Structure 1
Amino acid sequence: MEVFRMDDNEQRYDVVVVGGGAAGLSGAVALSRARRSVLVIDAGLPRNAPATHVHNYLGREGTAPSELLAVGRGEAAGYGAEITEGTVVSAEKLAEGEGFRVVREDGTAVVARRLLVTTGLVDELPPVPGLAERWGREVLHCPYCHGWEVRDRPIGILGVSPMAAHQALMWRQWSEDVTLFRHTGPEPTDEEYEQLAARGIAVVDGEVAGLDVTGDRLTGVRLAGGRVIAREAVVVQTRFTARSEVLRTLGLAATELDMAGYVVGTYIAADPAGATDVPGVWVAGNVANPLEQVIGAASAGLKAAAAINADLTAEDTRSAVAAHRR
């Protein structure tokens, strides 16, 4: 990895947090409370922006995603963190002991002793007309995030992988009317067919051509042959693609996430506290764990912040001892 020298005119922080979602803001609050200088650079692209509410977040149940982030920004700023909008395009390792130069798309740069990257992921939807327009409304992926809101309604599962039968059985907890559309997914095994039948889940062969919408509400799933089956919610398995562009500039490549022999996305590998293979760089939230919900992302941000502060404390102590000896 190429090593650069620090520009004395660039603003220097203990920690730069790249990404201002739940993980990033949680980390910023903890680090600011630890009296570290913190800058949060947020591109304004939260994964859950299409959703109307955050769920399973103790004390914040039903809060709008935008409201949760606004509260988090206020809390971080209240302890001294600086928060700015912008997109980070690269991070460069500086000479030993000088940290990292973080460069934004407008060419401006700051220097950080440590980096916490919480850039999240992108949900890539199957290429079926109508899915993107209803995403986060009646087109859903997580039963714990949205199951309660569509309870007792007709639900369709769009099969695209070997996980489809598992999804159907899971969503059956929230509704007795669940239909598995095989679409492009593999045929269920004999055992899965038996399980689906035992739970009263219908299986429909053939590819899905699109969705039917009436009065701005999803009313059905349209098959390639023209048949429409009434549904009020559709469950999809998205591909979780880590927003790892900044990390790639530091030499960190994304790892494929495999479930049941099927690659469902990518993530950045890290230890339990979020430390990556590049010393001084931590990750938290969906960029490190695609399956993490909002409250889990916030917890991961806190855990990474504590590890970062401990690492900085150790460095500060080494420097103080060296100065003391002199």
Structure 2
Amino acid sequence: MQHFDVAIIGGGPAGLTAAMTLSRSLRRVAVLDARRPPRNIFADEMHGIVGLDGVSPGEYRRRAWADLEKYGMAELHEVTGTDVTPDPEGGFTVTAEEGPPVWARQVLLATGMVDAHPKVEGFGECWGRTVIHCPFCLGWENRDRRWAVVTDDPEFAATAAAVFSAWSDDVIVLANGAMPPGERDGEIIDGEIRRLHHDGGDLRAIELADGTIIERQTMLWQLDQRPVPLISHLAEQLGLAVGRGGYVETDSSFRTNVSGLYATGDLITASQAVVESAAAGSGAAFQIIADARWPLRDVPSGLSR
């Protein structure tokens, strides 16, 4: 079994930034990143990252690993983490679906979340382009278009036109059949969304279940999310605290309620953006270093560096 100072489960912006901070602090790191496509694979470009604005998710990861390889402290394991088991003598054994387990002094969960895609024809083709989850991520690319905001929150619906007016002066609200009656303020269109009419992912119109066609060019649709299976497993087996919406609960220093186990990035908050995830990854790494059980010179038996 290979031994590491830290095992990071998840190789997105949060996990990779944590790996960089730890590498530059001379910690040996294993990054367990599943071979399946990343959550942001639907986006052609990533935005809001100074110096990297407009790069694709794949190029971002390629550049990140090129940087990490310069230090020789981080090792990529293209596997899916399935369990994290505390060692009675300290540290954790991290089990993977496709390969051998690894041992680490501390473990950082950076798995992100899983989007629950609706069963709407045309959604997949438009998602990440003209059906967006975040105006700060793709609002610029969709500026001066006719927007539809999907929400079941009456308070959010009442303010949507004003909130998104910087990007569009034509904003409507769709309840998608989910908003309670009698709790709405302003014009809200009812009806379940059945189909998105588009041209190669460029939204043209929204079709409701009753056949109504609404011409729109952009939709803001913040999807429901769920944690990856590992998180649900750890909640059951270790008592990992998971709060409303499936987000892992941590203190202000990214510590979970399980000693030596940390969480960061999209996994702990609904406020999700690449720069925020990267910052959270760095913050978690700093705390891991501060909480390290052993100084670097005091390496337990069997831990190679």
Deviation sequence 1:220-240 (CA, Å, 0-9, x none) = 011222221111111212112
Paired with 2:98 and 2:175, the residues of 1 have a C-alpha distance of: 46
CA 215–78 in structure 1, closer or farther in 2 if over 3 Å, else same: closer
Instruction: Indicate if the aligned counterparts of 2:132 and 2:138 stay in contact, CA closer than 8 A.
Output: yes
Gaps in structure 1 of 5+ consecutive residues: 1-9, 194-201, 257-264, 321-326
1:268 maps to 2:248: yes
Match of 2:238 among 250, 261, 271: 250
SS at match of 2:137: helix
Instruction: Indicate if the aligned counterparts of 2:129 and 2:201 stay in contact, CA closer than 8 A.
Output: no
Q: Residue 240 of structure 1 aligns with which residue?
A: 225
1:33 maps to 2:33: no
- State which drifts further: 80-89 or 177-186: 177-186
Match of 2:171 among 178, 197, 206: 178
> What one-letter code is carried by the residue in structure 2 that aligns with 1:302?
S
Shift of 1:252: 1.0
Q: Residue 7 of structure 1 aligns with which residue?
A: none
Deviation sequence 1:221-272 (CA, Å, 0-9, x none) = 112222211111112121122236244343314211xxxxxxxx32000112
1:316 maps to 2:295: yes
Gaps in structure 2 of 5+ consecutive residues: 300-305
Paired with 1:269 and 1:319, the residues of 2 have a C-alpha distance of: 31
CA 20–215 in structure 1, closer or farther in 2 if over 3 Å, else same: closer
Paired with 2:256 and 2:199, the residues of 1 have a C-alpha distance of: 48
Match of 2:58 among 63, 66, 76: 66
Paired with 2:296 and 2:15, the residues of 1 have a C-alpha distance of: 26
Shift of 1:155: 1.1
Paired with 1:216 and 1:182, the residues of 2 have a C-alpha distance of: 22
Shift of 1:106: 2.6
Paired with 2:223 and 2:192, the residues of 1 have a C-alpha distance of: 17
Instruction: Indicate if the aligned counterparts of 1:124 and 1:240 stay in contact, CA closer than 8 A.
Output: yes
> What one-letter code is carried by the residue in structure 2 that aligns with 1:254?
V
Pairing of 1:99-114 with structure 2 (within 5 A): 99-106=91-98, 108-114=100-106
Q: TM-score, normalised by structure 1?
A: 0.82
Paired with 1:296 and 1:215, the residues of 2 have a C-alpha distance of: 31
Paired with 1:276 and 1:316, the residues of 2 have a C-alpha distance of: 22
Q: Residue 8 of structure 2 aligns with which residue?
A: 17
Bigger Rg over Cα: 1
CA 160–210 in structure 1, closer or farther in 2 if over 3 Å, else same: farther
CA 203–152 in structure 1, closer or farther in 2 if over 3 Å, else same: same
Q: Residue 227 of structure 1 aligns with which residue?
A: 212
Paired with 1:137 and 1:157, the residues of 2 have a C-alpha distance of: 15
- State which drifts further: 278-287 or 123-132: 123-132
Shift of 1:39: 0.9
Pairwise CA RMSD of aligned residues?
Answer: 2.2
Paired with 2:229 and 2:27, the residues of 1 have a C-alpha distance of: 25
1:94 maps to 2:82: no
Q: Percent same amino acid at aligned positions?
A: 37
Q: Residue 70 of structure 2 aligns with which residue?
A: 78
- State which drifts further: 157-166 or 178-187: 157-166
Instruction: Indicate if the aligned counterparts of 2:125 and 2:200 stay in contact, CA closer than 8 A.
Output: no
Q: TM-score, normalised by structure 2?
A: 0.88
CA 172–126 in structure 1, closer or farther in 2 if over 3 Å, else same: farther
Paired with 1:167 and 1:221, the residues of 2 have a C-alpha distance of: 18
CA 292–216 in structure 1, closer or farther in 2 if over 3 Å, else same: closer
> What one-letter code is carried by the residue in structure 2 that aligns with 1:18?
I
Instruction: Indicate if the aligned counterparts of 1:51 and 1:65 stay in contact, CA closer than 8 A.
Output: yes
> What one-letter code is carried by the residue in structure 1 that aligns with 2:220?
V
Paired with 2:46 and 2:220, the residues of 1 have a C-alpha distance of: 18
